[in-house]
Structure 1
């Protein structure tokens, strides 16, 4: 009997469109001879459509049309999980950002005891929270850019003090980011106090906590990691670019981006990056996969920028490219491996005794 793979995508997230693009690639690259593949779509309002089996390939346009206006919605998520899914089923969550990458979906799947691909609840929720993850990485002496943070309530009550703190601790230029958001959404580079005020207000549209970081002048180098207990670290990669900051469109819409794999680095620098990346992976308690993004200065100083527990799987995404070049394997083989890790992690969790006999 084939395993069933339900690719869960869309969701109530500003990264909804990126999720659809990632799902399209995953669905088309999954080996239909090995798996029964289903598209499981959640629209922008959080409504689930009934799963649709994909026999061959699907276009991005077709996946965008799998809305509840065309296909019947799931009347009861409970009935779906209990009645449709079975022991040879696994969920492949590819909802980037809120309500998917932040541990919420993973928590629901844990409650139903359903296997899924990728990171668990705690790793997902902590990694998604930039402020919390930075505090944890700091406790492990993983180098990072200087930063300050404050809530929307603090900013409304003490605007002058908050801006003064940024000027004294960070200075200009600086970057303002929502704490819980990805794909550079709500992120601004600021050169003046006036720009800082506008950027903070923009960031608060996406979260009630903001992070302000110093600008690090250097190359952005990415590492892909896979595994549960045993962690595989990929070659380092970077994008050939002429801009200092990637916004949403640059990351996902620019077809002219050229990946450089492996990134040209001294071996000592690469090994340091791998050490920091693996430390972050272990500290968060990751499983399945993670992408870690670093800045490297001309003096070879290393700074961890951020980590992604559900990295992009679009045609422009670095994570699958890094795996393919590092392991000399296909996109389809990467998906096989991640699914295998998901089943293995689920089996290990089920070996835990929860009731004292």
Structure 2
């Protein structure tokens, strides 16, 4: 009997369109002879819409952004109703950004006791919040570039003091980031104080918490992690953006980035990257997948930049490409992740709550 698989995508975040592209790619790789696949679409406004079973891969993201019947139930009620009717065996979240990979949806699925693909509540929320992530990395003893952080209220009340602190602790150029967003949305490079203020104001449009880091002259190298309690790592890949940094357009729109896979690093550096990626995965209590991003200097000094607990997942995204070059093609990667999600859920069912 086929497993009933719910593809969960869309969402309220700035990465809504990225999620739709991921869902489209997933339908083109899934085995329709093995799974009964149902689309579960979350609109930009946060409404949940459950579609009819897919019988073939979709050809455009427009097919996935379907409309609601005028007399249908509103919000998440439709999804809850469908649980009784369809009895999903596993949910595959393909949500990026806020209310998608930050632990909120994962917590909802935990309450419903539904198996799902990918990281749990802790790994998702800590991996989404760059400040919490960095603090956990410090506990794990992972080297990082100097950074500081603050919230919107502090910026409005003591902007001059915060700027002075940043200029004392950090050096230009600085990178300013929303703490809780991915795909480089709202990220800016600041070469002086005027640009720093502009960058903070931009980042505050996307989040109330801001991270500011010292820029470092280094190569950007990434490594994919796959597994549960015994994670494995892929070959490393190097990002070579032709723009000032690896921003949103470089990732998704203008093809202005070169990828070197495997990255031209020494065996010792690759071993260090693998070890650090696994340590980051484990300190987050990861499950399923993580992409770990690093800076590697000319002297082969390594800094962990961040991890992404639900990285870009189209066939041309870095995470699947890394595994393809390690010998695991896209369709088999998806199958592996589904099995890992079911495995982690089965393990949780052994816990006693009274």
TM class, shorter-length: over 0.9
Query: Hey, what does 2:24 align to over in structure 1?
Result: 24
| Structure 1: distance between partners of 2:71 and 2:121 | 30
SS of the aligned residue for 1:223 comes to strand
| Structure 2: distance between partners of 1:98 and 1:259 | 27
State the shift of 1:27 in Å. Answer: 1.4
State the shift of 1:246 in Å. Answer: 1.5
Is the CA contact (8 Å cut-off) linking 1:49 and 1:73 kept in structure 2?
no
Q: After the TM superposition, which residues 177-188 of structure 1 pair with which residues of structure 2 at under 5 Å, given as runs?
A: 177-188=177-188
| Structure 2: distance between partners of 1:73 and 1:335 | 32
State the shift of 1:57 in Å. Answer: 1.5
| Structure 1: distance between partners of 2:257 and 2:29 | 22
Query: Hey, what does 1:335 align to over in structure 2?
Result: 334
Is 1:234 aligned with 2:234? Answer: yes
Is the CA contact (8 Å cut-off) linking 1:130 and 1:211 kept in structure 2?
yes
State the shift of 1:212 in Å. Answer: 0.4
Deviations 1:197-248 (A, max 9, x none): 1111111111111000000111111100111111111000123432340211
Q: After the TM superposition, which residues 1-357 of structure 1 pair with which residues of structure 2 at under 5 Å, given as runs?
A: 1-68=1-68, 76-77=77-78, 79-80=80-81, 82-86=83-87, 89-255=89-255, 257-326=257-326, 328-355=327-354
State the shift of 1:53 in Å. Answer: 1.8
Deviations 1:301-346 (A, max 9, x none): 10111101111112431111111211x2321111110000011100
| Structure 1: distance between partners of 2:353 and 2:78 | 25
Deviations 1:97-141 (A, max 9, x none): 000100000000000100000000011001100011101101211
Is the CA contact (8 Å cut-off) linking 1:47 and 1:73 kept in structure 2?
no
TM-score by length of 2: 0.95
Deviations 1:125-169 (A, max 9, x none): 011000111011012110111001111111111111000011111
Deviations 1:255-288 (A, max 9, x none): 4644321111000001001111100000000001
Q: What residue ranges of structure 2 are gaps of 5+ in the alignment?
A: none
Change (3 A) 1:190 1:220: same
| Structure 2: distance between partners of 1:333 and 1:74 | 36
Change (3 A) 1:65 1:260: same
| Structure 2: distance between partners of 1:303 and 1:81 | 45
Is the CA contact (8 Å cut-off) linking 1:48 and 1:68 kept in structure 2?
no
SS of the aligned residue for 2:235 comes to strand
| Structure 1: distance between partners of 2:256 and 2:194 | 33
- Count matched residues: 353
Change (3 A) 1:297 1:71: farther
SS of the aligned residue for 2:176 comes to strand
Change (3 A) 1:347 1:81: farther
RMSD: 1.7
Structure 1 consecutive aligned stretches of length 4 or more whose deviation exceeds 6 Å = none
Is the CA contact (8 Å cut-off) linking 1:49 and 1:71 kept in structure 2?
no
| Structure 2: distance between partners of 1:239 and 1:70 | 47
Is the CA contact (8 Å cut-off) linking 1:228 and 1:341 kept in structure 2?
yes
| Structure 2: distance between partners of 1:36 and 1:71 | 26
State the shift of 1:74 in Å. Answer: 5.6
TM-score by length of 1: 0.95
| Structure 1: distance between partners of 2:302 and 2:39 | 40
| Structure 2: distance between partners of 1:256 and 1:73 | 44
| Structure 1: distance between partners of 2:148 and 2:313 | 31
| Structure 2: distance between partners of 1:63 and 1:353 | 43
